[in-house]
Chain A
């Protein structure tokens, strides 16, 4: 309850005779008995404060009406408070019939976004069933944690192929760099994230396993780096759009991309 409403109007009249137009704060520190110049000096406060005190003076209801309002507001406040309690109940109740947001994990799963980075697989040609990988060793060199191990060999037709291709999933951090730098659509990160095992050795995937889990993975053939314009366009496409890229440069790269797309 504000100080204004706490006293009877008669009492305020008495205070008013002594204190004039002081605010309740002044009364609290006993300024009603200070000489006039001290009061005026204390009065020079900031703009906002002055505005507030002016507003307070205007809005203060004086006289018997304030006392009467004080009496009735107990009942009014009670009823308003009770009504607010009921509003609170309604607010909580409306969540009861709504569906919970919980996903019950082993029985339900969130569908993974299209380009999620999960376990790494080796992709094979859909027709021949052979690995796309030609052991260029770029992914091995670019892997930041050296999780990939590749050795090269030549097969009967004289083509280079990876003799050993191992990914150590205890090291792999699923960054996706190997997929980004591969020019041959040979390696990809799928959305699979559930591959816990009981022995650490089972987490080191060899070539056969990588090919096997990659068999059902659909992939879109990336643009093969064949012509000069396309190699100019490809780094720009593969890079992570540096912040300070000029609009002219952007237009140039998009143009080369467009031509690259036509050729591929």
Chain B
């Protein structure tokens, strides 16, 4: 039994007993637990980013009939680490006329926004840093922070191309947030709660009862909107290497660039994790018989499967032009998400 929830609970009770017996107020233990949870989430996040960058390079290579990184570590596993080290030791060039404060804080904000969403993601049974009872609302609020960081990056670089790239990127992200939010509402209505753990548990233990089936339209809309949220192809014009010279992060070098880069991959993992939680049953096995496999393995497997689909999209579809992109969001996805919401509401009313 590799489930961590009972283990952690027992550690906590033992420690709190020790604290009480020695007269130290338990608040210190709670603070320590929170710090530990934050550190654990950060660790998971960094490992995820590391792994995802490697995986992206391998998957894209194999789709293109080549091998990808092979020499640094077995099959190139240490490649991302070496790349991070390389970026750390690069010279940090700041444009002379850049707005120093905004230029500095943009990548920090991007990374922090990406990181904050992980607090409410259930990585396994009982493995959630904080089960807020408005979990999904919190996540939607956090994803809005990324927009600010894009605008800050574009503006602070004092470069008209970066500004254009940043504004296009911001326009894209906020346009796709609307259908994303509305499609998420469908799942929330079926579950009856906004708490992430609550949604997972409301989906039941059987895979045909998970919300991907009754909410197939919502799942589709969510996934497409999520692809646009994280600026992945076919929606990655703001950062397309071939079109704009890296878009809003053209003036960033070294560690700051690494922050943006990591933030993109972390965002990818985040939206896949949210999709897993809302539509694919979270940490539950498809049938109750398979519960001996730990819940976090199921969660990781489902999330990585969705990430794989994101990467698959990247190497299959051509890029959308920015006007096609916006038209698609407002003229197609938004009405469709309203239809989904209406049908879900009708279904909930009739069958519950």
Contacts and interface: CB of A to CB of B under 8 A. Distances in A.
B19 interface: no
Interface stretch (B63-71, B132-140, B157-165): B63-71
Contacts of A96: 59, 62-63
A85 interface: yes
Interface string A98-142: 101110100000000000000000000000000000000000000
B312 A85 contact: no
A30 interface: no
Contact of B66 (A89, A93, A101): A101
**Residue in B64, B66, B312, B316 with the greatest tally of chain A CB atoms within 10 Å:** B316
A46 interface: no
Contacts, number: 32
Contact of B316 (A92, A101, A102): A92
A91 B315 CA distance: 11
Query: Interface size for chain B: under 10, 10 to 19, 20 to 34, or 35 or more residues?
Result: 10 to 19
Interface in B306-352: 312-313, 315-317
Interface string A65-87: 00000000000000000000100
A95 B64 contact: yes
A92 B63 CA distance: 6
A221 interface: no
A88 interface: yes
B65 A88 contact: no
A98 B64 CA distance: 10
B316 A95 contact: no
A102 B70 CA distance: 11
Interface string B149-176: 0000000000000000000000000000
Nearest to A94: B63
Nearest to B61: A100
Contacts of B316: 88-89, 91-92
A91 B317 CA distance: 11
Contacts of B61: 100
Sorted nearest first, the 5 A-B pairs with minimum C-beta distance are A92-B316, A102-B67, A100-B67, A102-B66, A88-B316
Interface of A: 85, 88-89, 91-93, 95-96, 98, 100-102, 104
6 contacts: A89-B312, A89-B313, A93-B63, A95-B63, A100-B65, A104-B67
Given A88-B316, A95-B62, A96-B59, 11 more contacts: A89-B316, A91-B316, A92-B63, A93-B63, A95-B65, A96-B62, A96-B63, A100-B61, A100-B66, A100-B67, A101-B66
